Amino acid sequence: MAELGSKGVTAGKIASNVQKKLTRAQEKVLQKLGKADETKDEQFEQCVQNFNKQLSEGTRLQKDLRTYLASVKAMHEASKKLTECLQEVYEPDWPGRDDTNKIAENNDLLWTDFHQKLVDQALLTMDTYLGQFPDIKSRIAKRGRKLVDYDSARHHFEALQTAKKKDETKIAKAPIPKPVSLLEKAAPQWCQGKLQAHLVAQTNLLRNQAEEELVKAQKVFEEMNIDLQEELPSLWNSRVGFYVNTFQSIAGLEENFHKEMSKLNQNLHDVLLGLDKQYSGNAFPIKAQPRKKTKLFARLRKKMSSDSTPAKANKSPSPPPDGSPITSPETKTVNHELEPSTLEAPGASIPKSPSQPTEAAHAGAEAAGSEAAAGAEASKTEGDSGSSSLPAVVVETFPATVNGTVEGGASSERADMPPGFLFKVQAMHDYTATDSDELQLKAGDVVLVIPFENPEEQDEGWLMGVKESDWIQHKELDQCRGVFPENFTERVQ
Protein backbone atom coordinates (compact mmCIF):
# COMPACT_ATOMS: atom_id res chain seq x y z
CA MET A 1 0.00 0.00 0.00
CA ALA A 2 2.90 2.30 0.72
CA GLU A 3 4.17 1.63 -2.77
CA LEU A 4 0.83 2.58 -4.26
CA GLY A 5 0.76 5.74 -2.18
CA SER A 6 4.20 6.79 -3.36
CA LYS A 7 2.89 6.82 -6.89
CA GLY A 8 -0.13 8.90 -6.05
CA VAL A 9 -2.52 5.97 -6.38
CA THR A 10 -4.48 4.76 -3.37
CA ALA A 11 -6.44 1.59 -2.83
CA GLY A 12 -9.62 3.62 -2.75
CA LYS A 13 -8.86 5.13 -6.11
CA ILE A 14 -8.22 1.72 -7.64
CA ALA A 15 -11.44 0.35 -6.17
CA SER A 16 -13.33 3.35 -7.53
CA ASN A 17 -11.93 2.85 -11.03
CA VAL A 18 -12.77 -0.86 -10.94
CA GLN A 19 -16.29 -0.05 -9.81
CA LYS A 20 -16.68 2.46 -12.66
CA LYS A 21 -15.57 -0.11 -15.23
CA LEU A 22 -18.02 -2.68 -13.86
CA THR A 23 -20.82 -0.15 -13.85
CA ARG A 24 -20.09 0.91 -17.42
CA ALA A 25 -19.90 -2.69 -18.61
CA GLN A 26 -23.23 -3.47 -16.96
CA GLU A 27 -24.81 -0.37 -18.48
CA LYS A 28 -23.54 -1.24 -22.00
CA VAL A 29 -24.94 -4.76 -21.68
CA LEU A 30 -28.34 -3.42 -20.62
CA GLN A 31 -28.33 -0.95 -23.49
CA LYS A 32 -27.47 -3.63 -26.04
CA LEU A 33 -30.18 -5.89 -24.68
CA GLY A 34 -32.66 -3.03 -24.90
CA LYS A 35 -33.36 -2.97 -21.16
CA ALA A 36 -31.90 0.52 -20.76
CA ASP A 37 -32.22 3.51 -23.02
CA GLU A 38 -29.12 5.25 -24.47
CA THR A 39 -28.63 8.96 -24.93
CA LYS A 40 -28.25 9.72 -28.66
CA ASP A 41 -26.85 12.78 -30.45
CA GLU A 42 -27.10 12.36 -34.24
CA GLN A 43 -25.34 15.66 -34.97
CA PHE A 44 -22.34 14.63 -32.90
CA GLU A 45 -22.29 11.16 -34.48
CA GLN A 46 -22.06 12.81 -37.90
CA CYS A 47 -19.15 14.90 -36.67
CA VAL A 48 -17.42 11.73 -35.47
CA GLN A 49 -17.90 10.09 -38.89
CA ASN A 50 -16.38 13.13 -40.57
CA PHE A 51 -13.50 13.06 -38.10
CA ASN A 52 -12.74 9.39 -38.86
CA LYS A 53 -12.89 10.03 -42.60
CA GLN A 54 -10.60 13.05 -42.29
CA LEU A 55 -8.14 11.02 -40.21
CA SER A 56 -8.15 8.20 -42.76
CA GLU A 57 -7.55 10.58 -45.67
CA GLY A 58 -4.78 12.41 -43.83
CA THR A 59 -3.06 9.16 -42.88
CA ARG A 60 -3.14 7.98 -46.48
CA LEU A 61 -1.81 11.31 -47.73
CA GLN A 62 1.02 11.15 -45.21
CA LYS A 63 1.89 7.61 -46.30
CA ASP A 64 1.86 8.49 -50.01
CA LEU A 65 3.92 11.62 -49.35
CA ARG A 66 6.56 9.56 -47.56
CA THR A 67 6.60 7.13 -50.49
CA TYR A 68 7.01 10.06 -52.89
CA LEU A 69 9.93 11.41 -50.85
CA ALA A 70 11.54 7.98 -50.80
CA SER A 71 11.21 7.87 -54.59
CA VAL A 72 12.77 11.32 -54.91
CA LYS A 73 15.66 10.18 -52.75
CA ALA A 74 16.09 7.01 -54.82
CA MET A 75 15.99 9.06 -58.02
CA HIS A 76 18.60 11.39 -56.53
CA GLU A 77 20.90 8.47 -55.85
CA ALA A 78 20.37 7.05 -59.35
CA SER A 79 21.02 10.45 -60.97
CA LYS A 80 24.12 10.89 -58.83
CA LYS A 81 25.54 7.54 -59.92
CA LEU A 82 24.74 8.33 -63.54
CA THR A 83 26.60 11.64 -63.42
CA GLU A 84 29.49 9.96 -61.62
CA CYS A 85 29.66 7.43 -64.43
CA LEU A 86 29.74 10.28 -66.95
CA GLN A 87 32.60 11.90 -65.06
CA GLU A 88 34.56 8.65 -65.03
CA VAL A 89 34.18 7.94 -68.76
CA TYR A 90 34.81 11.56 -69.76
CA GLU A 91 38.46 11.49 -70.76
CA PRO A 92 40.73 14.40 -69.75
CA ASP A 93 41.51 15.47 -73.33
CA TRP A 94 37.84 15.74 -74.32
CA PRO A 95 36.43 19.27 -74.51
CA GLY A 96 33.99 20.29 -71.79
CA ARG A 97 35.31 18.08 -68.99
CA ASP A 98 35.22 20.92 -66.43
CA ASP A 99 31.72 21.83 -67.58
CA THR A 100 30.46 18.28 -67.06
CA ASN A 101 31.94 18.21 -63.56
CA LYS A 102 30.21 21.49 -62.71
CA ILE A 103 26.92 20.22 -64.13
CA ALA A 104 27.23 17.06 -62.03
CA GLU A 105 27.77 19.13 -58.86
CA ASN A 106 24.80 21.38 -59.61
CA ASN A 107 22.68 18.32 -60.38
CA ASP A 108 23.44 16.85 -56.96
CA LEU A 109 22.74 20.14 -55.18
CA LEU A 110 19.47 20.57 -57.02
CA TRP A 111 18.20 17.12 -56.02
CA THR A 112 19.24 17.69 -52.39
CA ASP A 113 17.51 21.07 -52.25
CA PHE A 114 14.34 19.66 -53.82
CA HIS A 115 14.15 16.82 -51.30
CA GLN A 116 14.78 19.06 -48.31
CA LYS A 117 12.15 21.60 -49.34
CA LEU A 118 9.61 18.82 -49.80
CA VAL A 119 10.33 17.68 -46.25
CA ASP A 120 10.05 21.19 -44.80
CA GLN A 121 7.05 22.46 -46.72
CA ALA A 122 5.02 19.29 -47.14
CA LEU A 123 5.98 16.44 -44.83
CA LEU A 124 6.49 18.47 -41.64
CA THR A 125 3.25 20.35 -42.28
CA MET A 126 1.55 17.01 -42.79
CA ASP A 127 2.92 15.70 -39.51
CA THR A 128 1.72 18.81 -37.66
CA TYR A 129 -1.72 18.49 -39.21
CA LEU A 130 -2.08 14.86 -38.14
CA GLY A 131 -0.57 15.54 -34.71
CA GLN A 132 -3.84 16.99 -33.43
CA PHE A 133 -5.91 13.92 -34.26
CA PRO A 134 -4.73 11.54 -31.47
CA ASP A 135 -5.73 13.97 -28.70
CA ILE A 136 -9.15 14.61 -30.23
CA LYS A 137 -9.65 10.90 -30.80
CA SER A 138 -8.85 10.25 -27.14
CA ARG A 139 -11.31 12.93 -26.03
CA ILE A 140 -14.02 11.45 -28.23
CA ALA A 141 -13.47 8.08 -26.58
CA LYS A 142 -13.53 9.69 -23.13
CA ARG A 143 -16.75 11.48 -23.98
CA GLY A 144 -18.25 8.12 -24.86
CA ARG A 145 -17.27 6.73 -21.45
CA LYS A 146 -18.68 9.79 -19.65
CA LEU A 147 -21.89 9.40 -21.60
CA VAL A 148 -22.19 5.83 -20.30
CA ASP A 149 -21.55 7.09 -16.76
CA TYR A 150 -24.23 9.73 -17.21
CA ASP A 151 -26.75 7.18 -18.48
CA SER A 152 -25.88 4.82 -15.63
CA ALA A 153 -26.32 7.57 -13.02
CA ARG A 154 -29.57 8.62 -14.60
CA HIS A 155 -30.92 5.10 -14.58
CA HIS A 156 -29.85 4.60 -10.93
CA PHE A 157 -31.53 7.79 -9.81
CA GLU A 158 -34.69 6.91 -11.77
CA ALA A 159 -34.72 3.51 -10.12
CA LEU A 160 -34.55 5.08 -6.64
CA GLN A 161 -37.28 7.48 -7.55
CA THR A 162 -39.47 4.63 -8.66
CA ALA A 163 -38.76 2.72 -5.46
CA LYS A 164 -39.69 5.76 -3.35
CA LYS A 165 -43.04 6.05 -5.07
CA LYS A 166 -43.71 2.37 -4.46
CA ASP A 167 -42.86 2.71 -0.77
CA GLU A 168 -45.13 5.73 -0.39
CA THR A 169 -47.95 3.83 -1.98
CA LYS A 170 -47.44 0.89 0.39
CA ILE A 171 -47.36 3.19 3.42
CA ALA A 172 -50.61 4.84 2.36
CA LYS A 173 -52.34 1.49 2.05
CA ALA A 174 -50.97 0.01 5.31
CA PRO A 175 -51.18 2.51 8.23
CA ILE A 176 -49.56 0.05 10.68
CA PRO A 177 -46.32 -1.00 9.15
CA LYS A 178 -45.23 -4.54 9.71
CA PRO A 179 -41.66 -5.40 10.65
CA VAL A 180 -39.67 -5.95 7.52
CA SER A 181 -36.43 -7.07 9.14
CA LEU A 182 -35.22 -9.16 12.03
CA LEU A 183 -34.09 -6.00 13.77
CA GLU A 184 -37.56 -4.54 13.61
CA LYS A 185 -39.11 -7.80 14.77
CA ALA A 186 -36.80 -8.02 17.76
CA ALA A 187 -37.15 -4.36 18.66
CA PRO A 188 -39.84 -3.30 21.11
CA GLN A 189 -42.96 -1.71 19.77
CA TRP A 190 -41.86 1.76 20.74
CA CYS A 191 -38.58 1.38 18.81
CA GLN A 192 -40.04 0.20 15.52
CA GLY A 193 -41.17 3.68 14.56
CA LYS A 194 -37.67 5.03 15.01
CA LEU A 195 -36.19 2.26 12.93
CA GLN A 196 -38.65 2.92 10.16
CA ALA A 197 -37.79 6.59 10.22
CA HIS A 198 -34.11 5.65 10.04
CA LEU A 199 -34.71 3.51 6.97
CA VAL A 200 -36.60 6.29 5.28
CA ALA A 201 -33.79 8.70 6.03
CA GLN A 202 -31.25 6.25 4.68
CA THR A 203 -33.28 5.81 1.50
CA ASN A 204 -33.48 9.56 1.11
CA LEU A 205 -29.74 9.80 1.60
CA LEU A 206 -29.09 7.22 -1.16
CA ARG A 207 -31.48 9.08 -3.40
CA ASN A 208 -29.72 12.35 -2.70
CA GLN A 209 -26.33 10.80 -3.39
CA ALA A 210 -27.65 9.34 -6.66
CA GLU A 211 -28.95 12.73 -7.61
CA GLU A 212 -25.62 14.35 -6.84
CA GLU A 213 -23.79 11.73 -8.90
CA LEU A 214 -26.22 12.30 -11.75
CA VAL A 215 -25.65 16.05 -11.68
CA LYS A 216 -21.89 15.56 -11.55
CA ALA A 217 -21.84 13.02 -14.40
CA GLN A 218 -24.06 15.25 -16.49
CA LYS A 219 -21.81 18.24 -15.92
CA VAL A 220 -18.61 16.39 -16.88
CA PHE A 221 -20.26 14.96 -19.99
CA GLU A 222 -21.72 18.25 -21.15
CA GLU A 223 -18.42 20.09 -20.73
CA MET A 224 -16.61 17.58 -22.95
CA ASN A 225 -19.51 17.39 -25.37
CA ILE A 226 -19.68 21.16 -25.84
CA ASP A 227 -15.93 21.43 -26.53
CA LEU A 228 -16.01 18.64 -29.10
CA GLN A 229 -19.15 20.00 -30.72
CA GLU A 230 -17.19 23.18 -31.44
CA GLU A 231 -13.84 21.63 -32.41
CA LEU A 232 -14.93 18.80 -34.71
CA PRO A 233 -16.78 20.93 -37.32
CA SER A 234 -13.92 23.45 -37.31
CA LEU A 235 -11.38 20.66 -37.86
CA TRP A 236 -13.48 19.20 -40.67
CA ASN A 237 -13.65 22.53 -42.49
CA SER A 238 -9.92 23.12 -42.14
CA ARG A 239 -9.10 20.14 -44.39
CA VAL A 240 -9.79 22.14 -47.58
CA GLY A 241 -7.20 24.81 -46.90
CA PHE A 242 -4.67 22.23 -45.75
CA TYR A 243 -5.00 20.13 -48.91
CA VAL A 244 -4.72 23.25 -51.07
CA ASN A 245 -1.56 24.46 -49.34
CA THR A 246 0.04 21.01 -49.39
CA PHE A 247 -0.45 20.31 -53.08
CA GLN A 248 0.34 23.88 -54.08
CA SER A 249 3.65 23.57 -52.27
CA ILE A 250 4.45 20.26 -53.98
CA ALA A 251 3.47 21.58 -57.41
CA GLY A 252 5.50 24.77 -56.99
CA LEU A 253 8.57 22.90 -55.80
CA GLU A 254 8.32 20.47 -58.71
CA GLU A 255 7.92 23.30 -61.20
CA ASN A 256 11.05 25.12 -59.99
CA PHE A 257 13.00 21.89 -59.77
CA HIS A 258 12.21 20.87 -63.34
CA LYS A 259 12.99 24.35 -64.64
CA GLU A 260 16.44 24.30 -63.08
CA MET A 261 17.01 20.69 -64.10
CA SER A 262 16.01 21.54 -67.67
CA LYS A 263 18.71 24.21 -67.76
CA LEU A 264 21.32 21.74 -66.53
CA ASN A 265 20.23 19.18 -69.11
CA GLN A 266 20.44 21.77 -71.87
CA ASN A 267 23.96 22.69 -70.76
CA LEU A 268 24.97 19.03 -70.74
CA HIS A 269 23.43 18.59 -74.19
CA ASP A 270 25.47 21.49 -75.55
CA VAL A 271 28.69 20.12 -74.04
CA LEU A 272 28.10 16.68 -75.54
CA LEU A 273 27.17 18.26 -78.87
CA GLY A 274 30.56 19.96 -78.96
CA LEU A 275 32.22 16.63 -78.17
CA ASP A 276 30.27 14.97 -80.97
CA LYS A 277 31.35 17.60 -83.50
CA GLN A 278 35.00 17.17 -82.63
CA TYR A 279 34.81 13.37 -82.81
CA SER A 280 32.13 13.05 -85.47
CA GLY A 281 34.20 10.52 -87.43
CA ASN A 282 33.95 7.98 -84.63
CA ALA A 283 30.22 7.43 -84.79
CA PHE A 284 28.69 4.49 -82.99
CA PRO A 285 28.34 1.63 -85.51
CA ILE A 286 24.85 0.34 -86.12
CA LYS A 287 24.56 -3.43 -86.37
CA ALA A 288 21.96 -5.49 -88.12
CA GLN A 289 19.97 -8.19 -86.42
CA PRO A 290 21.47 -11.65 -86.89
CA ARG A 291 19.92 -13.85 -89.54
CA LYS A 292 18.84 -17.24 -88.31
CA LYS A 293 17.17 -18.82 -91.34
CA THR A 294 18.61 -20.46 -94.44
CA LYS A 295 20.33 -18.08 -96.86
CA LEU A 296 17.74 -17.64 -99.55
CA PHE A 297 19.71 -16.60 -102.61
CA ALA A 298 22.70 -18.83 -101.91
CA ARG A 299 20.40 -21.82 -102.23
CA LEU A 300 18.51 -20.46 -105.23
CA ARG A 301 21.64 -19.54 -107.17
CA LYS A 302 23.16 -22.92 -106.48
CA LYS A 303 20.04 -24.54 -107.88
CA MET A 304 20.03 -22.23 -110.93
CA SER A 305 23.70 -23.04 -111.55
CA SER A 306 23.03 -26.79 -111.50
CA ASP A 307 20.00 -26.40 -113.78
CA SER A 308 21.92 -24.32 -116.36
CA THR A 309 24.85 -26.79 -116.79
CA PRO A 310 23.11 -29.17 -119.29
CA ALA A 311 21.88 -26.20 -121.29
CA LYS A 312 25.43 -24.94 -121.73
CA ALA A 313 26.52 -28.40 -122.88
CA ASN A 314 23.85 -28.43 -125.58
CA LYS A 315 24.58 -24.93 -126.86
CA SER A 316 26.78 -26.19 -129.71
CA PRO A 317 24.77 -28.75 -131.66
CA SER A 318 26.52 -31.33 -133.85
CA PRO A 319 26.49 -30.69 -137.62
CA PRO A 320 23.63 -32.22 -139.65
CA PRO A 321 24.39 -35.48 -141.42
CA ASP A 322 23.64 -34.00 -144.83
CA GLY A 323 26.45 -31.47 -144.45
CA SER A 324 24.22 -28.39 -144.46
CA PRO A 325 25.61 -25.32 -142.66
CA ILE A 326 24.79 -24.81 -138.95
CA THR A 327 22.45 -21.96 -138.22
CA SER A 328 22.72 -20.48 -134.71
CA PRO A 329 19.47 -19.19 -133.29
CA GLU A 330 21.39 -16.56 -131.36
CA THR A 331 22.43 -14.76 -134.57
CA LYS A 332 18.92 -14.59 -135.97
CA THR A 333 16.31 -11.94 -135.49
CA VAL A 334 12.62 -12.29 -135.40
CA ASN A 335 10.79 -11.38 -138.60
CA HIS A 336 7.92 -9.30 -137.36
CA GLU A 337 6.61 -8.72 -140.90
CA LEU A 338 5.54 -12.26 -141.71
CA GLU A 339 2.48 -12.64 -143.81
CA PRO A 340 -0.66 -13.50 -141.96
CA SER A 341 -0.98 -16.67 -144.01
CA THR A 342 2.33 -17.98 -142.69
CA LEU A 343 1.14 -17.60 -139.07
CA GLU A 344 -2.12 -19.44 -139.50
CA ALA A 345 -2.36 -22.74 -137.72
CA PRO A 346 -5.25 -24.72 -136.26
CA GLY A 347 -6.11 -23.47 -132.79
CA ALA A 348 -3.40 -20.81 -132.83
CA SER A 349 -3.92 -17.26 -131.70
CA ILE A 350 -1.76 -14.20 -131.36
CA PRO A 351 -2.47 -12.44 -128.04
CA LYS A 352 -1.64 -8.85 -127.55
CA SER A 353 1.65 -8.34 -125.73
CA PRO A 354 1.93 -5.88 -122.81
CA SER A 355 3.17 -2.38 -123.57
CA GLN A 356 6.24 -2.91 -121.31
CA PRO A 357 6.87 -6.66 -120.91
CA THR A 358 8.75 -7.93 -117.95
CA GLU A 359 12.06 -9.72 -118.05
CA ALA A 360 10.42 -13.12 -118.37
CA ALA A 361 8.25 -11.91 -121.27
CA HIS A 362 11.35 -10.52 -123.10
CA ALA A 363 13.20 -13.76 -122.67
CA GLY A 364 10.24 -15.80 -123.93
CA ALA A 365 9.74 -13.55 -126.92
CA GLU A 366 13.43 -13.71 -127.89
CA ALA A 367 13.50 -17.49 -127.60
CA ALA A 368 10.31 -17.85 -129.61
CA GLY A 369 11.63 -15.39 -132.22
CA SER A 370 14.86 -17.32 -132.54
CA GLU A 371 12.96 -20.55 -133.08
CA ALA A 372 10.75 -18.88 -135.70
CA ALA A 373 13.78 -17.45 -137.52
CA ALA A 374 15.50 -20.82 -137.42
CA GLY A 375 12.40 -22.52 -138.79
CA ALA A 376 12.04 -19.94 -141.55
CA GLU A 377 15.71 -20.34 -142.53
CA ALA A 378 15.37 -24.10 -142.59
CA SER A 379 12.23 -23.83 -144.69
CA LYS A 380 14.00 -21.54 -147.16
CA THR A 381 16.96 -23.88 -147.44
CA GLU A 382 14.80 -26.89 -148.05
CA GLY A 383 12.71 -24.91 -150.55
CA ASP A 384 15.83 -24.08 -152.51
CA SER A 385 16.86 -27.72 -152.57
CA GLY A 386 13.45 -28.74 -153.84
CA SER A 387 12.12 -30.30 -150.76
CA SER A 388 8.65 -29.58 -149.32
CA SER A 389 8.16 -26.54 -147.09
CA LEU A 390 7.85 -27.00 -143.29
CA PRO A 391 4.83 -25.68 -141.43
CA ALA A 392 5.20 -22.16 -140.14
CA VAL A 393 6.20 -21.73 -136.48
CA VAL A 394 3.52 -19.96 -134.51
CA VAL A 395 4.86 -17.57 -131.88
CA GLU A 396 2.65 -17.07 -128.85
CA THR A 397 3.52 -14.64 -126.08
CA PHE A 398 2.09 -14.92 -122.61
CA PRO A 399 1.94 -12.35 -119.86
CA ALA A 400 4.69 -12.69 -117.29
CA THR A 401 3.70 -13.74 -113.79
CA VAL A 402 5.37 -13.06 -110.45
CA ASN A 403 4.26 -15.12 -107.45
CA GLY A 404 1.21 -16.20 -109.41
CA THR A 405 0.16 -12.61 -110.19
CA VAL A 406 -0.27 -11.64 -113.85
CA GLU A 407 1.82 -8.60 -114.74
CA GLY A 408 0.20 -5.97 -116.92
CA GLY A 409 -3.46 -5.06 -117.10
CA ALA A 410 -5.61 -3.55 -114.40
CA SER A 411 -4.26 -5.76 -111.57
CA SER A 412 -0.53 -5.23 -112.30
CA GLU A 413 1.86 -3.06 -110.30
CA ARG A 414 3.10 0.21 -111.71
CA ALA A 415 5.12 -0.40 -114.82
CA ASP A 416 8.17 1.50 -113.56
CA MET A 417 8.42 -0.60 -110.39
CA PRO A 418 9.47 -4.22 -109.88
CA PRO A 419 6.77 -6.88 -109.53
CA GLY A 420 5.14 -6.88 -106.11
CA PHE A 421 6.60 -3.46 -105.22
CA LEU A 422 5.61 -2.46 -101.67
CA PHE A 423 7.34 0.81 -100.75
CA LYS A 424 10.62 2.71 -100.90
CA VAL A 425 13.24 3.05 -98.21
CA GLN A 426 16.45 5.08 -98.06
CA ALA A 427 19.66 3.85 -96.48
CA MET A 428 20.63 5.99 -93.49
CA HIS A 429 23.92 4.18 -92.86
CA ASP A 430 26.41 2.15 -94.88
CA TYR A 431 25.95 -1.61 -94.78
CA THR A 432 28.55 -4.12 -95.88
CA ALA A 433 27.02 -7.34 -97.17
CA THR A 434 28.20 -10.48 -95.40
CA ASP A 435 26.61 -13.01 -97.77
CA SER A 436 25.91 -13.34 -101.47
CA ASP A 437 22.15 -12.84 -101.03
CA GLU A 438 22.52 -9.49 -99.19
CA LEU A 439 22.49 -5.98 -100.65
CA GLN A 440 25.52 -3.72 -100.29
CA LEU A 441 24.21 -0.32 -99.18
CA LYS A 442 25.62 3.17 -99.06
CA ALA A 443 24.01 5.99 -97.11
CA GLY A 444 21.50 7.64 -99.44
CA ASP A 445 20.76 4.57 -101.59
CA VAL A 446 17.07 4.15 -102.40
CA VAL A 447 15.78 0.57 -102.22
CA LEU A 448 12.53 -0.71 -103.70
CA VAL A 449 11.07 -3.17 -101.22
CA ILE A 450 9.41 -6.31 -102.61
CA PRO A 451 7.89 -9.31 -100.83
CA PHE A 452 9.64 -12.61 -100.19
CA GLU A 453 8.59 -15.43 -102.48
CA ASN A 454 8.31 -17.60 -99.39
CA PRO A 455 7.34 -15.53 -96.35
CA GLU A 456 8.67 -18.23 -94.04
CA GLU A 457 12.21 -17.47 -95.23
CA GLN A 458 12.05 -13.86 -93.98
CA ASP A 459 14.12 -13.16 -90.88
CA GLU A 460 12.89 -10.67 -88.30
CA GLY A 461 14.31 -7.21 -88.96
CA TRP A 462 15.24 -7.97 -92.61
CA LEU A 463 13.56 -6.87 -95.85
CA MET A 464 13.78 -7.96 -99.48
CA GLY A 465 14.40 -5.37 -102.17
CA VAL A 466 16.38 -4.10 -105.15
CA LYS A 467 18.28 -0.85 -105.33
CA GLU A 468 16.44 1.68 -107.45
CA SER A 469 19.53 2.43 -109.52
CA ASP A 470 20.02 -1.27 -110.36
CA TRP A 471 16.38 -1.68 -111.27
CA ILE A 472 16.36 1.34 -113.58
CA GLN A 473 19.51 0.10 -115.30
CA HIS A 474 18.85 -3.64 -115.59
CA LYS A 475 15.11 -4.12 -115.08
CA GLU A 476 15.66 -7.59 -113.65
CA LEU A 477 15.40 -9.07 -110.19
CA ASP A 478 17.31 -12.36 -110.21
CA GLN A 479 20.77 -10.78 -110.12
CA CYS A 480 19.89 -7.48 -108.42
CA ARG A 481 17.57 -8.23 -105.54
CA GLY A 482 18.73 -9.10 -102.07
CA VAL A 483 17.96 -8.83 -98.38
CA PHE A 484 19.06 -5.98 -96.13
CA PRO A 485 18.62 -4.95 -92.46
CA GLU A 486 15.60 -2.76 -91.90
CA ASN A 487 17.18 -0.72 -89.10
CA PHE A 488 19.76 0.68 -91.54
CA THR A 489 17.00 2.34 -93.60
CA GLU A 490 14.12 4.75 -93.28
CA ARG A 491 10.89 4.56 -95.19
CA VAL A 492 10.43 7.40 -97.67
CA GLN A 493 7.41 6.30 -99.69
Which residue pairs, CB below 8 angstroms and at least 24 apart, start in 30-34?
Answer: 30/155, 31/151
84 or 370: which carries more pLDDT confidence?
84
Same domain membership, residue 376 and residue 255: no
Same domain membership, residue 237 and residue 104: yes
- Amino acid (1-letter code) at residue 462: W
Same domain membership, residue 334 and residue 252: no
Same domain membership, residue 376 and residue 244: no
- Domain of residue 184, residue span: 37-278
Domain membership flag for residue 184: yes
431 or 167: which carries more pLDDT confidence?
431
Same domain membership, residue 376 and residue 234: no
The most confident of the ranges 234-248, 283-297, 322-336, 471-485 is 234-248
Q: Given a cut of 80, is residue 95 above it in pLDDT?
A: yes
Same domain membership, residue 243 and residue 165: yes
Strands 423-427 and 489-491: antiparallel
Q: What mean pLDDT do residues 244-263 have?
A: 96
Domain membership flag for residue 24: no
Q: What mean pLDDT do residues 250-259 have?
A: 96
Distance CA 17, CA 292 (A): 86
Same domain membership, residue 161 and residue 217: yes
Same domain membership, residue 365 and residue 459: no
Length of the chain: 493
**Could you tell me the CATH number of the domain that includes residue 426?**
2.30.30.40
Same domain membership, residue 221 and residue 116: yes
Tell me how many domains the chain contains.
3
The separation between CA 182 and the C-alpha centre of its own chain, rounded to angstroms, equals 89
What global pTM score does this model have?
Answer: 0.51
| pLDDT of res. 144 | 87
Using a pLDDT cut of 70, give the percent of the chain over it: 63
Same domain membership, residue 199 and residue 66: yes
> Average pLDDT of the chain?
75
Instruction: Report the candidate in 373, 375, 368 with the shortest Cα–Cα distance to residue 351.
Output: 368
Backbone angles phi, psi at 399, to 5 degrees: -65, 140
Same domain membership, residue 207 and residue 110: yes
Distance CA 113, CA 126 (A): 19
Distance CA 60, CA 72 (A): 18
